[in-house]
Structure 1
């Protein structure tokens, strides 16, 4: 049987619903979802296979004007995913935004070579008048609700039509290419986003220092890195109450992923101004464009 396979990159402004859509299409909770913008910092890979096609979805950080080194790393990740794409899904929050020139919005060096499908998200929240206005701007756009799933099967059909003929890149049972450590770190960060207010969550990075799968329960030692010493007390909380709550909530998400009991050893450490420090970002695994990595 002839098969199709290719890379499908999800792009758009922050909070357009890219991560929610990835989880919906793949049928697994891979990407963290938060009401706070800029929650996706690196590409997240999700794989959907059927008898004749394999779609490798690349969820990307929201396109924005970079203000410091972390933003530049996030934009670089999005640029790489766009360059790798066979099909691009350009998500637009239909309740607040309009389609823009992707080259301008994403500071791209050139127009994408892959076909671009404009996808209006939040169909379930849009009035008839607003829909008519947006349809006039992009008549060929797909309309979906990533939250409810409406329109997603029709969108998948459009994507499959545009995939190149190719053998599967990965085993048909795979749902991602990323290691368990990556998802553990992401679920921890998602919990921090939920439990901490204001600016503090944006100044936190997660590092998995140990992951002992041979032990029962599985032992995971993780650092929550903060940018300033004064933030450590906020994360730890009175008598350790906050860090304990973060650990309990994160463990409830991690154990179903790992499939076993988990002992989560959380620690808080200062990594001064890590969002602006290219060396700290490299230590945390972020990649910057080569001309900005020193």
Structure 2
């Protein structure tokens, strides 16, 4: 990729740049680690599994190195078409990344996850693989040893880093390791960019995060958000967004008695968006029913998901 000379070196030193994929099971801490590494909240984080549905890019540029982190959905066996799209998004990144960080939840009670043969093969063929044993602040010594043993058997050439994305312990050592592994290259993005994705994308994600925080069971998993209008010149900034759910009962739960629930959701999301954009926001939320959208290829493509086999519907 041709670049202008202004990014070719800093004070006579050659720059490094490349893509760093964060992959692993749901709740392994991928989003928390990316937010930690870019020093900014870009990926939404909740205690519930499978919160991340799409790839999220975070760019960190410092000391002559530009790391383009790609947070990905969890590597799970798909149960329906949305899961297939999420798995497709995650596995595509493994093949293209300069460095792959495989995150393992060391504190998980169920032990080290077993990945499918296809995923294991992709990980084994990755250009450079680092196994990240996360949650050292919660894991017992025996659990950490278990991850080291597993990594040594599965990926004998991969280095293992133990850290806590929550507290930050060990993350700077990982950053230094990544920097040394990236290829010499001009910067891939301007130095002041923190992501290549539009603000609309992050607005929709923050609304969805609030839904995960405020509602229980199946409701947040059935939520999709589309930003319909974004008036940057308005004061306050005007955003109109539609929250889609699959059933009328879910719509009733989101709206609540007398609209109480949707007002609470709006307040929560608005505060997050204002913090993200650094300006006052008027958030206009609507709720609509789109039956079976998680299992319908056309609906998923409407929300921006890439379907590996658009004709396959379950």
Answer yes or no: same fold by TM over 0.5.
Answer: yes
State the partner residue of 2:140. 127
Partner SS for 1:223 = strand
Shift of 1:113: 3.2
**Partner Cα distance (1:253, 1:45) in 2:** 19
Cα deviation, residue 155, structure 1: 0.6
Give the corresponding residue for 2:294: 275
1:144 and 2:163 aligned: yes
User: How high is the TM-score relative to the length of structure 2?
Assistant: 0.89
Kindly indicate whether the alpha-carbon contact (under 8 Å) linking 1:79 and 1:108 is maintained by their aligned counterparts in 2: no
Per-residue displacement from partner, 1:131-188 (whole Å, max 9, x unpaired)? 2333233353100100000000011111111111111001111111110000000000
Is the counterpart of residue 34 in structure 1 residue 17 in structure 2? Answer: no
Judged with a 3 Å threshold, the aligned counterparts in structure 2 of structure 1 residues 100 and 87 are, in CA distance, closer, same or farther, namely farther
TM-score (norm 1): 0.95
RMSD over equivalenced CA pairs, Å: 1.7
Measure the CA separation in 2 of the matches of 1:133 and 1:290: 37
The match for 1:92 is: 104
The number of residues matched between the two structures is 293
Q: What are structure 2's unaligned runs of at least 5 residues?
A: 1-12, 153-158
In structure 2, what is the equivalent of residue 116 of structure 1? 129
Match of 1:248 in 2: 267
Q: Assess if the C-alpha contact under 8 Å between 1:69 and 1:278 holds in 2.
A: yes
What per-residue deviation string (whole Å, max 9, x for no partner) do you get for residues 240-276 of structure 1?
Answer: 0000000001000001212211110000000111000
Whether the aligned pair in 2 keeps the contact of 1:21 and 1:146 (CA below 8 Å) is yes
Instruction: Give the match for residue 286 of structure 1.
Output: 305
**8 Å CA contact retained: 1:63, 1:105:** no
Alignment of 1:144-223 (within 5 A): 144-223=163-242
For the pair 1:57 / 2:69, whether they are aligned, the reply is yes
Q: Which residue of 1 aligns with 2:258?
A: 239
CA distance in 1, matches of 2:200, 2:48: 23
Moved more, 39-48 or 106-115: 106-115
Moved more, 252-261 or 127-136: 127-136
Q: Deviations over 1:17-39 (max 9, x none)?
A: 00000000000000000111100
Greater shift, 280-289 or 179-188, is seen at 280-289
Change (3 A) 1:128 1:182: same
Partner Cα distance (1:54, 1:199) in 2: 39
User: SS of the counterpart of 1:220?
Assistant: strand
